[in-house]
Amino acid sequence: MNILFIMCDQLRADYLSCFGHPYLNTPHIDALAGRGVRFSNAFCQAPLCGPSRASFYTGRYVASHGVMSNEDPLKLGELTLGDYLSDAGMEAVVVGKSEGHFNAQATSRFNVPPGSAQEQRLSNNGFLPYELFAGLYPDPILPADLGYSDYLRSHGFGGDNPWETWANSAIDNDGKIVSGWQMRNAALAARV
């Protein structure tokens, strides 16, 4: 048996033709959905990727599993879908972005061997990494900048990555630029 679960950042169900969008055609996703299970009543548990993925992997709310930002690791004893599938004799792997982060302090305390499969699973939310991709190619398939950064720069938003520097950042009470992805900064307005 094979289980393929597709989890996308920023893909709304109402933008898929298998969920009834009248103009957008998504034939490959539609074909998979036609042969599989569609979750038509599933809801995102957090606005950030990491906490949201951790909720799916664990089946728990963010306040319960403790992953509050994209940099937070799951607690060492937190079991995930990958752990349960592995215990059932399946090879549970992740392709793409898992938002898993290494918990060096906990693995050291419990003498988890560096480089071991156990360490790899702990670093990737219970899955073995098959091919990880966090959105950055060293040798890009597409141009690194499709013109959007130039557009932002031409409108006064400078920097190497104006999207990150301006739209995904805020200024805190001390005048410091902070990440808009972190919950503690969620009440601050974006710099744009």
CA 138 to CA 136: how far, in whole Å?
A: 7
- The owner of tokens 């001390």 is 174
Position 30: which residue type?
D
Question: Helix-strand-coil percent breakdown of the chain, rounded to 5?
Answer: 35, 10, 60
Question: CA of 105: how far to CAs of 117, 151, 154, in Å?
Answer: 17, 43, 45
* Residues designated catalytic: 49
99 contacts 54 by C-beta, under 8 angstroms: yes
